[in-house]
Structure 1
Amino acid sequence: MKGWIQTLTVGLLALLLAGCGDSIDDLMERAQGLQAEGRYESAIADYRAVLQEDADHAEARFGLGEVGVLAGDYAGAEDALRRAARLGIASDRVQPLLATALLRQGKHEEVLRDINPDIAGNDSLRAELLAAHAEAHIQAENPAEAAPLVEQALALDERSLPALVAAARLAQTTNDATAANSYADRALEVEPNSSAALLVKAQVARGGGQLDDAIAAYSQLLELPPLGISRGEQFNAHGQYIETLLIAERIDDARSQAERMHRRAQRHPYPNFLVGLIALQDGDVDRANEHLQRTLSAAPDSIPGQRLMAAVRMEQEQYAQAITMLQRVISATPNDVQARIMLVAALRMNNEERQANRVLAEGIRAAGDDRQAMSLLSRAAGDDIEAVIADLNQMAQTNPSVQRASLGLAQTLVTEGATDPARAMLEQIESDDESEDFTRRQYLVIAALQGGDSDRAMSEARRLVEDYPDNSSAHNLLGGVHLNLQDLESARSAFEEARRLDQDSVQPLMNLGLVAAASGDRQQAIRYLREGLERQPDNVPAMLQLADLHRRGGENSEAERWLNEANRLAPNNLQAALAMARLQLSRGNPEAAMEAADRAVAAAPDNAVALGLQGVARLEAGQPDAALESLTAAQQIVPEEPDLLFQLARAQGMAGDNAAARNTLEGLVRDHPGRLDARSALARLQLQQGDPDAALQTARGLQGVEGGEAEGALLEGHAHSALDDVDSAITAYARAVELGRTEALGPLVANREEAGVERPADPLEQWIDRNPDNPQARFSLGNWYLEREQYEDAARHYGVLADLTDRENAVVLNNLAWLYQQLGDGRALETARAAYSLAPESAAVMDTLGWIYFQTGDVDNAVELLGRAAAAAPDNAEIQYHHGVALAEDSQTDAARDALNRALELEETAAWSDEARAILNTL
């Protein structure tokens, strides 16, 4: 046994030591093969084995640097590549890789110092090295230096991946989303798996509110190795992906990704922050607290971490701690509007109203020209806006620069319709700056106009023109006041003067377009707006006005073209998104309307109009639960808006909550008695709920409102009919017909029949005599007679109906042929053949023609056609019966028995069932 163990041990040692004899050439060949297969760790081991034998092996050192770049070890790659260069590896091989290693480490200064595009021996390499210099300048926040380098690189090689990526990043840095997307797309054409290009695509789409596109790009990016971006960039991209999923309300996907990111880096602050954020959204405050504690332990100065922890403290009603954290956040980032608003809320919950107002006033002062921030802060002030204004005025006494912030707040208040405090501010503000004073007086005119004080608006506008007779904007404003007062000639004159004073200004042209539109000259309005857009092609408001003119003219495709352009130029523009949503709704395209409304809500989450349109689009798309969510949110913002209330009631009803819908409609009718749509919807809902007495009262009330008499009479008829008051129903339906509601004719005839009136269809006959060319009415009456086996009357109307439809309607001809056959009219066969020529695959048409063939003795054609009809409609009992009868006549006994038994299985008590059984007894 001992000898066997010794033999085995010697064998194992031989195996283990077999590799030690590999030559340097063998190791290099194997390392390069492993590198090509993507087995970077194994390749690194072999390159290092070579370097242990020969520390100055230039190719091994270069290979180690190249694999280091591929594997993301940029510091190690930099060292290996610099040593490879010193060992004689050509610069044109080293420099592209070294540039990448330096850029991934953020060493932009060393790129500019050590990477030399002049060493390149061809255009492609020079373009790549110029792109590296451009990337370095972008990292150093010097886009002006990067731009000419990108231009040179692309001129040398328009398909250079590094140059296209640099161009995309440069455009992204300068907020040119369209160009960034275009360059990224070109880069992806060159290399579909370019991580850098995908990252640009994802970030641009996210910034533009195109969440689905962003999610798709991030998802593809995260499946790739971090080539073209650093591991840190890929890690952060994972976090951005999760944040985008949250914005898109894909909470479950975001939660799954956050847990995955956290498992890979359990101590890193970013995944802990994201897990904490999701936990807080889930209402799990304890878990949110746990992960945010880890975030702040690893990154105590993290502003997002402190802000979110403050939110946790507010949920825990620990307002003092929340206040302390938020004060630190605002101290570090004075323009963090959301943190400031949270701080205001915490102070108010802590009964520190005075301090809350000061925080808002200070935020307004810091907002400068940021109108969005100003708007959010003014809304947060709410009913305390006058106290905030008082604090601003106090600040202005020691700091004159605050006057500018006060003017900005006044402009914001005017824009948001808070006219009274805005006018008070504008009247108090004093400024030595002529431009600021001109702006103040402009907004004073607008505020007066909004407040309904047209006399004050006119006098202020005229004084502005007197003081600034050569100022185009002053005349423009005066024209606007005239236009608002419908004084179109004066408005046109003022706008023409504004245009004369400033030939290059587009605004007078736009305003002249508005005057033309108000005058009813739509084509002239379009010409003015188009001329303005030729001078200023990116004027989105003009595009919106032009789209509206085309829409009003029924030119929906042209309207959509301009709205698409407006949305392309301003993907976050609220009005452009709203206009597109309205247009798509009017065109019956709810899916496209939803897409536009979603963008509007993303741009303005608290905008009631955007939420309302989103709700209506969802409703029209058959998503009542989602619609109810949007419309409820909109109604909470503007609780008394009648249009929103009506749509909310629709959503409640479609979602199955009829009690809530009825309550909403009853309130709407009570507060807005003139709403015909609400009264009508309420009456119909009451009928649906089985409450005809209430529906009757609502219908009668509807008839007392101007324009509601016809609808009210129709609904009164429905209510009486539901109450089995046939005579009253007949009276109400007759009145509805007199008032033009043709849909009352059917129930009128039905109630007359139920009441036993002789010739109950006479009202419909009389109506058709007055309207002989109405095919729908004849079709309804023809069917009414047909159902009652009054074949002559049915055939009379179907005959006229066939002529009205140019004998091109297969259903009409088929029914007429059947009626002719019942009446023994010789025209039955030719009429049935005409129907068959129009619809040769219709089972009903084949059955009619086949049965007529049978009844006229043409059994062969009957069997063939009826067989095809039976195969096409295997569950139609009468067709199976006809087929069985024809087969029996043709002596096909077994097939006839099968068809007749099948017919009786489907319908045992049909009018022909006894005949079918009799035939079966003979087979």
Structure 2
Amino acid sequence: MASYSYSISGLSISILPIFLLFLVLARHVFSRGRKRDDYGPCRTRPMNTMPWGAPVVTAPHKFASAESFFEIRTILLILLCAIGLTFAVALPGCSSESAQSLYDQGMERLAAGNPKGAIVYLKNALEKKPSLGAAHLGLGDAYMQLGKLNSAESEYKAAVEQNAAGKEKVLLNLARIALMQQQPDKAAEHAQALIEANPDSNATAAAYEVLGSVALFNKDFNASQGNYTRSLELKPESEAAAYGLAAVAFQQGDESKTRTLLGEVLAMKPSHRKALQLQAALATQERNSETALAANQALCNLNPPDTRGCFVAGLLLMDNGEFDEARQIADSLLKNSSGKAEGQRLQGILLYRKKDYEAAAVALERSYKLAPTPETSFYLGLTYFANQKLDTSVSHFQRVLDAAPAFVTARIYKAVAFLRQLRLDEAQAEAERAVQEAPDNAHAHLVLGSAYMANGKLDKGMEEMEHALEIQPGMVDAQIKRGIILANQGMLDEAEQSLEEAVRNDKDNLPTRLMLFSFLIKRGEHQRAYDLMSDALTGTEDDAKVYNAQAIARLSQEQRDEAMELLARAKEAAPGDTSAYMTRARIFLAEGNKEDAKKEYEELLQKTPDHLPAILQYASLLSLTGETDAATGMLEKAKSSGEPAVFRMLAAALYEQGSKDEALAVLEEGLSHRPSHEALLIQAGRYRLAQGDLDGALTNFSRLEAVNYLQGISMKAAAYLAAGNREKALEEARRAPLLDPDSADGYAVLASTQARLGQVDEALQTLREGWAKDPGKLGMLVKIGDLELSAGRAEEAAASYQKAITIDDGFVPALVSMGMLHEQNQEFEPAMEFYRKALQKDPGNVPALNNLAYICASGHGDAAESLQLALRAYQQDPSAPLILDTLGISLLANDRTGQAVTVLEKAAAQLGDNPTIQYHLARAYHDNGDIQAAKDRITRALELGEFPEQAKAEDLAASIAAKDRG
């Protein structure tokens, strides 16, 4: 018997006396119970004793006595009797309802959009009258509305077996169910039966529509078109058949016909869901973003909304820069329970486009939990890729490829992620597969070319770049990389041509233009570089980058005033852009205008208080001018950044002030943030070693070895040497080549230790052995040359340097060493030439900057250039005493004696036994008017032994003595 549900209004009025009788009886029993309960309903009874003598306290309950239990049973019996009587009275009233009445109520609910309620009544009708075929038909319709196709099919078949009226509708629905279940043959069978039964009805028109869909499913386009056309002949207003013809045209690739037919469908019914979906697909295929957006917005505005349409509309709005509108769609989807996954995904992509990668990842991960689609995995891959979380990025791209192996874009990104991780073989394998799957994809060839180049296969890399440009002649990335390859091969004209082509193909691409600008600056074509940027002004914040570039060109042309004006414009264009402030500060510093330099740093730090490069440079400036407390105060505040450079600079400042324990504490604090940072470990180890703490130093260097085994072994060997333990130093160094016998690096470590022990011939033999094992390491030739030079064999040294330059004329260490050789021989012009060549390749090379500045300050070049070069070297390594020495004499050469004294005092504090630094400090004191201090320092310098500038030092001593006599 089916269960029924009743409202109170459905009960027979005869039930009420029974309820009243039940209430009277209950009241009577309860009242009797209360009279017999002497203790009341809420009081505990006295303690009793169980038969075995154990005391028990009864619960505070009004039915605690045996008589109360009898009353409970009585009440329960009364209650059961009442319920039974209620149903006895009620059920006859219900059972008297006829099957027809139940059927009518079920159909009313179906018409009202309540298929679940309809199913209850229709099933009850069939229980009363199993032969009611119309009820089976109604149940079939109800199940169809709920999407329960198998149940609907069973009910329709039952209706047919009972010869229910509406056979045409049953056959049509059976055909549609079969079509939805992707059973085209069964669908065609039902549709054909309908046509044979009645060839001219509206249902027959729908049957031809089904046959059209079956033929379209089977890609029989002619049959499909014929059946849809026949359907329209029978029923011209059929939107479904008209849509079917549009779908056929789309499948046949006839975009114009598809567009026309869709227009007719949407004219009949503007909210036709499938027609709007096809219109969106067609517009996307034609790259008609405006129509695609309109179609997807229309889908999104339907009731219920098409969540996919909303999502795509949001993407298209983002492409138009309408981020607020896209966010509104995302918010709307999030409020709709069926659209939460799309809402989270759209929100994640919006945050990704705004470069808020952390928040984007959170939203996309939520979307993936709700609906783990390959599309979401792809966007997660992009987000983690942009946030430099490459391992996670690769995992998500692999998820995409597991679901869709032919999705080439995911494979290309995966290959690029491998490239960035220097997993070169894996990158090459992925890129090769991408090219196999999509041989006409220019980006796949570009990435494969990059992988080949990273693996040293330059010819194959260039071949892939050329292939990418053949497929997509205007491909900017390929032209840029091709230009870089050509430049590295010394084909500068061809490289310039390739970069210019890249700019022509993408005139609005500022990074490409800036790359060509840098190339022209390096080639010395300063005016061309300036003119190139003149065409890039757009009236936006990007103009700051343009003005900055033009300022660099003007500085290269020694047009200082115009450069400063351009930098001022850059600050106006983008007040938050830091480059202009930093450049102006460097210019002021080079001119000795420390006050204006300070103003630039202060203005910048007011706008961006956490700008670390500005903090470090400003702290260096304060330290340089003797404002050590202010410098250390700034650095103390900057420690919260956790950046190693802050801890290193602060430790150096404290160490220089004599607070050696505090300096070590700062370095250990830095290591708590970055336990494996090599420079922090080295600096801490050196400070401990200087304090005589060999064990502490070795602990730091052992930690270093775990990160960089060669560097760690080298520093441990040096520590043993400093402690006078020569045997232990050599024992340690001999481990290096054993760890990787085929690499030259280990041999270099051993040779360095041998050289420090005075074993020059053994060291040279070790270096040559390493070079033979690993001839690709040109640095070994430079080390051989350096060792030859230290042994006084200048010609052999020059031959080694030249050999490296012959193999690679841009190898900076060889260029710097050749410059040092010429400088040692007092051949200043060729020395300066080699240093300049090195700086063209590596503008931040500290030895080249320092040595070139020293030559210029010594009267063999421009004093102003000397100070610029020395400041650049100092900003990269502000604690190195030799760099401080060069900066000091550069300041002297520019008549800035007070600052020179401050800087040289710092250098002398670190290298008190260096006679050259003592002599330079004596000069600074002398020029600053402190003759007694100058006399003390020059005496100290001459006591320390011979040095290159000894003759000049003796002249200064004589001059001071003459003043004393006078």
**What is the TM-score when the length of structure 2 is the normalising length?**
0.40
Higher radius of gyration, 1 or 2: 2
